Amino acid sequence: MLQAMTSWLRGAVIYQIYPRSFRDSDGDGVGDLKGVIENLDHIARLGVDAIWLSPFVASPMKDYGYDVSDYCDVDPLFGTLADADALIARAHKLGLKVITDQVWSHSSDRHPWFTESRSSRDNPKADWYVWADAKPDGSPPNNWQAMFGGCAWTWDARRRQYYLHNFLPEQPDLNVRNPAVQDALLAIGRFWLERGIDGFRLDVVNFLIHDERLGDNPALKLAKAPPRPHQFQRHLYDRTQPETLAFLARLRALLDEFGAISVGEIEDEEPLKVQRDYTDGEGRLHTAYSFYLLRQRVLTPVIVRDAMAGWQGARGWPSWSLSNHDVIRFPTRLAGDDPERAKLMLMLLLCLRGTAFLYQGDELGLPHANVPFERLRDPEAIAFWPHGIGRDGARTPMPWLHQAPMAGFTQAADAWLPLDPRHAALAADVQEGDPASMLTFTREMIALRRESPALREGEFNALGAPEPLLAFERRAPGESLLCLFNLGAAPARWTLPMASSAVRLAHGDAKVVGGEAVLGAYAGLLLLTSGPRG
C-alpha cells in the first residue's frame, strides 16, 4: 500500500517554483504564495506531476529563505499559513502533488533555538548547534572552509566558543547528531505533512551530520588555485557521514505514515555514489539528485552514459535536472542560448531514466539573465564576483505577459531583481499557441513521457553510436524506444542496430532513410523499435 502511494514519483516530472520570482500578487516587487496560486493552471497544463516550492517560511532572508527563523510559519513577505493551505488545496485540485523545501542542515542565527543555544554552555539547547573550543592559540577548531567563502567557524563571545556554519555565519549548523534535534526536525516534518504536503526536498541532505572528532579535511593536489577556499579540500569530515543514514531511516518512517516522498539534494565530490547510497533501500530517501548534470558546461555522450552507468543495478531511484535556482540556466550553459539546442537538451532530460526536474522558466527556454553587480542580491554572487556562478541570473522574475510592465510579474515599477529584456520577449503569452515554441515543445515532450511506459519507468541500455551521437534504448513491457541525439554541430548518420516501426518524435532535421538515421546539427529522434535488425 505504501509503495503504491509513492509510486507516482517514478518517472515523474516535477516543476520547481522559486516563489520570490514566480508571480507577485500584491505589488511589492516580490513573488508570493497567492501569485503561485494564480498561476498554477500554467503548471498543470504542462502535464507535470508535482511542484517543488523553494522556501517560503519565516526568514531574515540573508540567504533568501535558506536561513530559517521559524520552520512552521510563512514569512509575511510570501503570505500566511492560510495562503499555504490554499495553495496545497488548489494544487491537489489540479492533480499536482506538493513538495516543500526543508532546510535542516542549518537554521538562521535569529532562530530562537540558536538564541538560546548561544546564551550559555549549560542551557537546555546548549548542544543543539555545533560548538567547539578554540585551539590553544585561539584559532578555529579545524581547517573546514565554508561554501560561501572563508572559515566555516565563527567566534561567539557569549559562549567563548566557535560555532560551525557550512554557509554564511548567519546560518549556524544544527547538531543533528543530537536526538533532541532530530525529534524537533521530525516534528516540523509532521507539521507540514498534516497540512497535506506530499513530500520534502531536503536541502544539502548529506551535510546534516559532521565528524564528531572534527578531523581536519585533507588537502587536494591541485595544479592551480581554485576560485573558492572549500575547493582546496577533500570533504571527508564535514559532510556525508554514515550516521546521517540512521536519521534518514527515522525520517522515512515518518514519511511512510503519510505515504509521502523525499528528495535529497546531494553536494559531494562523488555525487553519483552518494546519490545511490542515500537511496539504497526502504529505510532511505525515495530519490536524490546531485549537481552532476547541473554543473556540466557541455553534455557529451560519455557524461550521459556515465551518469546512467552510476545507477546500473541500483535499488534506489535517481533524479535529474539541468537547471535550478543555484546554477546557470541550461539554455545558456548547455545550448549557447540557441533555442533549438535548448529543445534538444530538454528532450534528452525527459528521456533519461529517473525523475526529471524542471525549473521555472525552463518551459520558456529562458536564457540566464544578466544582472549587473549593483543589482546583485545573492551573497554568494557578491562574494565571488565576477567569477561566481551567478545565482541571481537564475532567479530573476518569471515573464508572463510580453507587453505588460515588468512582463506581468508585478504591478510595481521594479522587482527585487531586474527583469532581463530578453525574457519579456519569451513571455508565456507569446509562446502560448505557437507550435514552434519551447512551451509547446515542453508540453509535447511531457505528454509523450507521461504516456510512454518505456520513458517513464523502462530500463536504460546504452548503444554504441559514434560521438557526437548519443544513442540508448528505453525498454518496458510492451514498448521499446530508441532515443538518438546528435550533440554536435555537424550533420551525422548512423545505421540503426534495430528495426524501427515508427518515428515517435523528431526534433530538428531528423529522419530515417532506409535503415539509417540522418540527423542534422543538434537534432533528435525517438523511434519505436521492433527488435534487432535482421
- The residues carrying an active-site annotation are 203, 257
Q: Please state, in angstroms and as integers, the Cα–Cα distance from residue 216 to each residue in 122, 227, 269, following that order.
A: 27, 21, 17
* Location of C-alpha cell 543533528: 176
Q: Look at residue 459 and give its three-state secondary structure.
A: strand
In whole angstroms, give the CA distance from residue 25 to residue 420. Answer: 20
For residue 385, the Cα-to-chain-centroid distance in whole angstroms is 23
Mind giving me the DSSP string for 2-33?
HHHHHGGGTT-EEEEE-GGGT--SSSSSS--H
C-alpha cell of 303? Answer: 557524461
In whole angstroms, give the CA distance from residue 248 to residue 283. Answer: 7
Closest C-alpha among 301, 355, 332, 321 to residue 485: 301
In whole angstroms, give the CA distance from residue 27 to residue 413. Answer: 9
Phi and psi at 102, nearest 5°, equal: -120, 120
Closest C-alpha among 129, 215, 192 to residue 164: 129
**In contact, 224 and 126? CB cutoff 8 Å:** no
For residue 60, the Cα-to-chain-centroid distance in whole angstroms is 22
Closest C-alpha among 515, 511, 534 to residue 523: 511
Q: Which residues pair with 495 in a beta bridge?
A: 516
Q: Look at residue 460 and give its three-state secondary structure.
A: strand
Q: Look at residue 355 and give its three-state secondary structure.
A: strand
For residue 461, the Cα-to-chain-centroid distance in whole angstroms is 25
**Can you say whether residue 365 is alpha, beta or left, with left for phi > 0 and alpha for psi between -120 and 50 degrees?**
left
For residue 214, the Cα-to-chain-centroid distance in whole angstroms is 29
In whole angstroms, give the CA distance from residue 497 to residue 515. Answer: 8
Indicate the burial class of 452 (C-beta count within 10 angstroms; 0-12, 13-18, 19 or more). Answer: buried
C-alpha cell of 61? Answer: 532572508
**In contact, 18 and 360? CB cutoff 8 Å:** yes
**What's the one-letter identity of residue 522?**
Y
